[in-house]
Amino acid sequence: MKLLAWVLLGLLVIWAIRSKKSTIHTEKPEVPRLHEPELMVQCAHCGVHFPASEAVRQTDMSFCSEEHRRLHFHS
């Protein structure tokens, strides 16, 4: 009878260890949220690509700086 109790106890320990390992592997790691990619535009004067939110615009043209906008139209 004692042998059966030890076998059952051993099986219970093995089952507990395996169930603990399986819950560790099934948890999905938290993935950090990435920012949405920003549209890139090209400077009409020098050709450099930069984020559209930083553009200096005139008519339908984009410039990387106020100086390049000025130089483009006054050169």
Question: Does residue 11 register a pLDDT over 80?
Answer: yes
Instruction: Provide the pLDDT confidence category of residue 1 given band limits of 50, 70 and 90.
Output: confident
Q: How far apart are CA 61 and CA 46, in angstroms?
A: 12
List the chain domain ranges: 40-74
Q: What is the mean pLDDT of residues 1-8?
A: 89
Report pLDDT for 27: 62
In degrees, to the nearest 5, what angle opens at C-alpha 28 toward C-alphas 23 and 29?
Answer: 120
Instruction: Provide the pLDDT confidence category of residue 22 given band limits of 50, 70 and 90.
Output: low
| pLDDT tens-place string over residues 49-64 | 999 999 999 999 999 9
Could you say which DSSP state residue 43 is in? -
Question: Does residue 29 register a pLDDT over 90?
Answer: no
